[in-house]
Amino acid sequence: MISKKIVITAENGLHIRPAAVFVKEAKKFKSDITITLEKNTVNAKSLFKLQTLGLTKGTTVILSIHGNDEKQAMESISKIIKNIF
């Protein structure tokens, strides 16, 4: 399992459009991918669950990936986050 702290930097936070792009990218991988905010951990492949976190600008989350393609997933998803957020 690999994990990475991420700060949401987008002015409008993780609203529906960037969240949909994020989820679409996460679904390309077989690994389990989760986002944790404080004590809440959700499946990053679920747009609905991701939106329940209410990720706003300045929020720090932990992206965790576990599986055979975890390194590729982390690299790809990190690029998406950098470009969107």
d(CA 18, CA 5) in angstroms, rounded, equals: 18
pTM, rounded to two decimals? 0.91
> Looking at residue 11, what is its pLDDT?
83
Active-site residue set = 15
Q: What type of residue sits at position 56?
A: T
What are the chain's domains? Answer: 2-84 (3.30.1340.10)
Consecutive 10-residue runs of the chain (85 residues): their mean pLDDT?
91 88 96 97 97 92 97 93 73
pLDDT at 39: 95
| 18 to 4, 50, 68, 84: CA distances (angstroms) | 19, 11, 26, 6
List the Cα angle 26/67/64 in 5-degree steps: 60
